[in-house]
């Protein structure tokens, strides 16, 4: 069976200066690239997700002029904008499978997305023979958390590499790491 690296939402809007910039996001982008360069062939597949929201609607209530920062947010990662693109420090050449999530509705987990070919991620993973994943990216307390929980729930051996993640807030990130560890995810510090 195969091992994949999930790179979660390392996009301009989630790094410093972006619409929902996370402190340390640019360092995560550069760190993932350095990690992949230092570990060639370690993964059978590198799979990256991007938030990819519609420009002309509220994306199922996900966008709001008065966001609560829990269920609603300011506009971010709008398809076709610079904010939705991968951060330039992340080497997209290493990515085998691109996953878009959102597309008119709220989406946090990579499992809520589809590949460039239109396949749901779970179906793509089965076709690729993936049974183990390492999870890195942004943000620890939202999309990394949701993706790791869905991966372990899908029966995949799942690890989160804490040196290659960044969260919105320290307390919620710490709580997310505790939650995923309790769910059976290996948290690699």
Q: Where are the alpha helices (DSSP H) in the chain?
A: 25-38, 121-128, 145-153, 170-182
Active-site residue, from 13, 134, 143, 150: 143
**Cα–Cα distance measured from residue 147 to residue 112, given in angstroms and rounded to the nearest whole number:** 9
DSSP one-letter code for 48? E
Q: Is 9 a catalytic residue?
A: yes
The yes-or-no answer on residue 143 being catalytic is: yes
CB atoms within 10 A of CB 41: 5
Name the active-site residue from 101, 134, 141, 150.
101
**Helices within 42-185 (DSSP H only):** 121-128, 145-153, 170-182
Of 9, 13, 134, 141, the active-site residue reads 9
Residue carrying structure tokens 């942004």: 138
Between CA 62 and CA 81 the distance in angstroms is 17
Residue pair 53/59 in contact by the 8 Å Cβ criterion? yes
User: Contact at 8 Å (CB) between 187 and 181?
Assistant: yes
Rounded (10°) angle between helices 145-153 and 170-182: 0
Decide if 101 is catalytic. yes
| Residues labelled catalytic | 9, 101, 143
């Amino acid at each position: 069976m195969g091992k994949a690296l999930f790179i979660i939402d390392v996009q301009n809007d989630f790094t410093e200066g972006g619409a929902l910039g996370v402190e340390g996001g640019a360092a995560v982008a550069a760190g993932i690239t350095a990690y992949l360069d230092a570990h060639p062939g370690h993964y059978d597949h590198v799979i990256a997700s991007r938030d990819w929201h519609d420009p002309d609607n509220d994306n199922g209530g996900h966008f709001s002029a008065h966001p609560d920062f829990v269920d609603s947010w300011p506009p971010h990662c709008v398809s076709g904008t610079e904010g939705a693109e991968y951060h330039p420090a992340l080497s997209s050449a290493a990515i085998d499978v691109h996953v878009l999530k959102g597309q008119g509705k709220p989406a946090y987990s990579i499992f809520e997305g589809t590949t460039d070919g239109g396949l749901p991620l779970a179906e793509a993973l089965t076709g690729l023979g993936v049974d183990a994943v390492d999870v890195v990216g942004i943000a620890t307390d939202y999309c990394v958390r949701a993706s790791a929980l869905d991966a372990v729930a899908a029966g995949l051996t799942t690890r989160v590499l804490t040196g290659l993640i960044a969260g919105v807030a320290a307390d919620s990130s710490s709580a997310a790491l505790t939650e995923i560890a309790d769910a059976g995810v290996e948290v690699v510090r």
